[in-house]
């Protein structure tokens, strides 16, 4: 029997079934413990905090990583229930803080409270526990709406639909059929050594380009800026002065795209390749905005030069 640590953090799944404005409560008050009696795993529950995920911060992510690090030897897998609004950010950052895990760390949540009629919560949690118990599952993932996604590739793509999450630029890891985990690729065997981290550097900013936008004001303490450009990552020529200013201030520049699928590719057009020729810019490639943001916080916290930051950010 697999021993699973269930970590609850709030979110819609922990909200009472009410028509009033939802707010998560102590999961022990909203979660039917009879649910666990029908599961095949040995489940232990901890609740480090109970928040609407809008209020999650890097401090909370680090606390989650510490809980998993502390309990890593005593459990076969970990399931985290989390609000959907920032669940993709949580999955992204935990993919950085818990590197190369041989044990599955699975995030899930729901669009309806656990006790609501026709709630998606019981199925999502059941599938998350099922995936966390699979001998071929490892690393950080998200289970939602009959699919398991790599935690580095997931984005919330709908505010109300039951299938609110998708894997961006990469296929899902697996789907669930008749109580079975069906992997979309041949089951890769785990190899490597797990590494744990407990630091993030929050001094990043994200700039969303709009046609005609003026050069934004960047805080003095900022150390890295992620620019969400047009198409494959292009930047208007009139904003090159903005790049010069960032470089002069020692701020690292990451170019990404505001388009959901396909990723950035600065070398495709002159508006991108010219930038790379003239400035020390990092191309985020197929990273989601969530993963690029969290990866930047992670890389900043453990690097002391641009080249080291670039190498860690790009996972080279």
What's the confidence (pLDDT) of residue 247? Answer: 96
Q: So where are the chain's domains?
A: 3-196, 204-313
Architecture per CATH, domain 3-196, reads as: 3-Layer(aba) Sandwich (3.40)
pLDDT at 197: 97
Residue 147 annotated in active site: no
Q: What is the pTM of this model?
A: 0.95
Does residue 269 carry a catalytic annotation? yes
CA-CA distance, 187 to 174, in Å (whole number)? 10
Q: What is the pLDDT of residue 187?
A: 60
85 is catalytic: yes
Indicate which residue of 156, 252, 283, 291 is catalytic: 156
Contact 80, 108 (CB under 8 A): yes
Residue 305 has which token pair? Answer: 């030069």
pLDDT-flagged residues of the chain (< 50): none
pLDDT of residue 274: 84
Residues 6 or more apart in contact with residue 159 via CB below 8 angstroms:
none
What the block records as the tokens of 123 is 């199925």
Choose the catalytic residue: 72, 197, 269, 279: 269
Q: What is the pLDDT of residue 32?
A: 64
For residue 294, the model assigns a pLDDT of 98
**Going by CATH, does the domain composed of 204-313 fall within 3.40.190.80?**
no
Please write the tens of the pLDDT for every residue from 167-220. Answer: 999 999 999 998 899 999 876 566 679 999 999 999 999 999 999 999 999 999
Which member of 8, 9, 30, 84 is catalytic?
84
Nearest to 147 by CA among 136, 162, 169: 162
Give the SS3 label for residue 298: helix
Fold match flag (3-196 vs 204-313): yes
The DSSP string of 197-257 is: -------EEEEE--TTPPPPP--TT--EEEEEEBTTTB--GGGHHHHHHHHHTT-EEEEEE
Residue of 12, 86, 232, 288 marked active site: 12
238 is catalytic: no
Q: Is 57 a catalytic residue?
A: no
The pLDDT value given to residue 215: 92
Candidate list 85, 120, 150, 283, residue with the active-site label: 85
Q: How far apart are CA 95 and CA 87, in angstroms?
A: 12
pLDDT of 29: 66
**Inter-residue contact 107 to 151 (CB < 8 Å):** yes
């Amino acid at each position: 029997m697999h021993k699973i640590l269930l970590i609850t953090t709030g979110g819609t799944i922990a909200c009472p079934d009410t028509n009033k404005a939802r707010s998560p409560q102590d999961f022990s008050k909203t979660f039917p413990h009879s649910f666990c009696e029908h599961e095949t795993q040995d489940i232990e529950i901890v609740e480090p905090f109970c928040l609407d995920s809008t209020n999650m911060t890097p401090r909370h992510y680090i606390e989650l990583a510490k809980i998993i690090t502390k309990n890593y030897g005593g459990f076969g897998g970990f399931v985290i229930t989390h609000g959907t609004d920032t669940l993709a950010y949580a999955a992204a950052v935990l993919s950085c803080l818990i590197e190369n895990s041989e044990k599955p760390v699975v995030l899930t949540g729901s669009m309806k409270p656990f006790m609501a009629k026709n709630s998606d919560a019981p199925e999502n949690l059941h599938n998350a526990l099922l995936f966390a118990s699979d001998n071929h599952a490892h690393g950080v993932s998200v289970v939602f709406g009959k699919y398991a996604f790599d935690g580095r590739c997931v984005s919330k793509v709908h505010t109300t639909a039951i299938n609110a999450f998708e894997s961006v630029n990469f296929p899902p890891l697996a789907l669930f059929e008749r109580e079975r985990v069906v992997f979309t690729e041949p089951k890769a065997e785990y190899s490597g050594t797990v590494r744990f981290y407990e630091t993030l550097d929050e001094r990043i900013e994200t700039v969303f380009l709009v046609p005609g936008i003026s050069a934004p004001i960047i805080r003095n303490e900022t150390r890295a800026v992620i620019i969400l450009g047009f198409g494959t990552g292009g930047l208007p020529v009139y904003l090159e002065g903005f790049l010069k200013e960032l470089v002069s201030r020692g701020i690292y520049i990451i170019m990404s795209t505001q388009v959901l699928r396909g990723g950035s590719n600065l070398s495709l057009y002159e508006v991108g390749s010219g930038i790379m020729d003239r400035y020390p810019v990092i191309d985020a490639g197929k990273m989601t905005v969530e993963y690029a943001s969290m990866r930047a916080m992670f890389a900043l916290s453990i690097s002391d030069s641009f080249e080291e930051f670039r190498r860690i950010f790009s996972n080279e």
